[in-house]
Structure 1
Amino acid sequence: MMKIIKHSGHKVPFDKEKLKSSLKRSGASSDLIKESLAEIEKQMYDGITTKEIYKLAFEILKKASSGHAARYNIRLALQMLGPAGFFFEKFISKLYAADGFKTKLNLTLQGKCVSHEVDIAVMKNNKITMIECKFHGSKEGSSDVKVPMYILSRFNDLKAIKHTIFSNSETIDSCIIVTNNRFTKDAQDFANCSGISILSWDYPQDNNLKNIIDRRALYPITCLTTLSMIEKEKLLILDQILVKDLISAPDSLSKIGLSQNRIKNILNEAAEICKHR
């Protein structure tokens, strides 16, 4: 069986079904998926890296549709919300706001013992949840058991007293930890045992980040293939986080100095990405 090399340097057997699933998630048709797999397999060799396979798939999809390529690019697009992860926190806040939550970012709250910086607080049905974001700048980074252990102690200190977040005299009812990559098995087990919720690229199985993003078409602007990285950074600074933001507020594209022809191409790609769902 052909072996491929992961980002970590480990050699693993090539998983055709995994590649097929990622192509399907891009919105590609059955025929395009079949053609793409055939073309990729034709160019593969023992010891090819996952990065090279990704590049092959991306280029094939881009020739067919920039929208397919953009959706295939989601995980890398989340990594582009760094390097510090502040824009990733804004992105997560947008996901919750789209689901009807009130949100606040970057809070400093006094606990029973010490004060704590909280990435995001969200409220729905008068229940408040604190959200802590763990951003990883590379695909192989993962959050281990120390992360939920540490955040549990902070949550326990904060939930012990009342706060002023959205109004006066509020309590924090629950805690969620979100990462753009993965949690280790120990981290998952500890979180589940201690009552903390966790959300990652592929966990929980049926309601993970990739599913939420696809289901609600809440794509980060960093997935767009018609924008350069510098242009993406300029838009993020203008608080344009989601592709949907660009469609509803296209003036931001003029603000960063793009021509009308470029703007038209970018908005066409944005519409194609969101139309998929």
Structure 2
Amino acid sequence: MKIVKHSGNIVDFNRDKLKNSLLKSGANKMIVEEVLKNIESQIYEGISTKKIYKLAFALLKKSSNSHAARYNLRAAIQLLGPAGFFFEKFIARLFISEDYLAQTNLFLSGKCVGHEVDVAIMKNNVIEMVECKFHSGKDANSDVKVPMYILSRFNDLKDRSHLIYTKNDKILGCWIVTNNRFTSDAILFAKCSGLKLLSWDYPEKNSLSKKIDNNQLYPITCLTTLTISEKDKLMVLDIILVREILDTPETLEKIGLSPNRIKNVLKEASELCKYI
């Protein structure tokens, strides 16, 4: 059976690929098989992957909110927009979880011009800049022009002293992080130029998606028990991660949730963070 991807490409329906994505939600094999059978009974020639995703999400939600939240992870990252400001905060937290110091939204003077730097990180006294390329659409990839441009900015900054953590900090490395993917040319250029890349599926064994799972860095945008408006209010209060709700449950009351809804949100958050 042929299905239509987000890009418009027509491909064969891949049951194993769908099964693997369902298993990653944390649902057990019995639930996954039930969901697969239900989906297979409803799909038709030419159905979009978007409709299949919505159907799978709804079926998982019936079994567990946290399963649906985990399945919704990539879409949830795309909700850290629209401009990517909250994505930068999310990435800073990712590095902090790996024992870095991190600062966001800096303006630093280069040799030639000034630059806005999304995130500055430090570990073992080595300071690096992190540039975040946020895409609200699933199919927008970062091509070779992205690392070429960011390399020029890094080169303008690296030989200067900056006030970041001390008065004479040097930027010794550069990361580029995206919520989508890099093209093959972008990866080749970055490797050749000494830039570090992190995307949804790259590097294969330590990608953004794997880091999120391994460190339980689930964004609040994946929770199914909160509305989009409520998620936005929490992010304005600097609550970006699900675990931060568990650490500061009083913020749910601040945004106007009833005691019963607070109980449901905390239940989903707790189940999600116990996924691993």
Identity %: 60
In 1, distance between residues paired with 2:203 and 2:234? 31
SS across alignment from 1:120: strand
In 1, distance between residues paired with 2:20 and 2:128? 33
Encode CA deviations 1:177-197: one digit per residue, 9 max, x unaligned: 011111111111111111101
SS across alignment from 1:173: strand
The residue type paired with residue 111 of structure 2 is K
SS across alignment from 1:168: coil
Shift of 1:44: 1.1
User: Counterpart in 1 of 2:189?
Assistant: 190
In 2, distance between residues paired with 1:189 and 1:208? 17
Question: Structure 1 residues 3-12 or 265-274, which shifts more?
Answer: 3-12
User: Counterpart in 2 of 1:159?
Assistant: 158
The residue type paired with residue 188 of structure 1 is I
In 1, distance between residues paired with 2:167 and 2:250? 37
User: Counterpart in 2 of 1:121?
Assistant: 120
Encode CA deviations 1:105-152: one digit per residue, 9 max, x unaligned: 111111112111100001011011100000101111111110000000
Coordinate RMSD, CA, aligned: 0.9
Shift of 1:17: 2.1
User: Counterpart in 2 of 1:131?
Assistant: 130
In 1, distance between residues paired with 2:191 and 2:23? 31
Q: Structure 2: 5+ residue runs without aligned partners?
A: none
User: Counterpart in 2 of 1:73?
Assistant: 72
In 2, distance between residues paired with 1:215 and 1:174? 24
User: Counterpart in 2 of 1:256?
Assistant: 255
Matched residue pairs, number? 276
User: Counterpart in 1 of 2:99?
Assistant: 100
Shift of 1:239: 0.4
In 1, distance between residues paired with 2:112 and 2:159? 10
User: Counterpart in 2 of 1:19?
Assistant: 18
In 1, distance between residues paired with 2:33 and 2:192? 43
The equivalences for 1:230-269 within 5 A come to 230-269=229-268
SS across alignment from 2:197: strand
SS across alignment from 1:90: helix
Shift of 1:208: 0.7
1:218 and 2:217 aligned = yes
The residue type paired with residue 127 of structure 1 is V
Q: Structure 1: 5+ residue runs without aligned partners?
A: none
Shift of 1:23: 0.8
The residue type paired with residue 258 of structure 2 is S
Shift of 1:58: 0.5
In 2, distance between residues paired with 1:12 and 1:190? 30
Encode CA deviations 1:67-110: one digit per residue, 9 max, x unaligned: 10000000000011110100000010111111111111111111
Question: Structure 1 residues 182-191 or 68-77, which shifts more?
Answer: 182-191
TM-score of the superposed pair, with normalisation by structure 1: 0.98
In 1, distance between residues paired with 2:208 and 2:22? 17
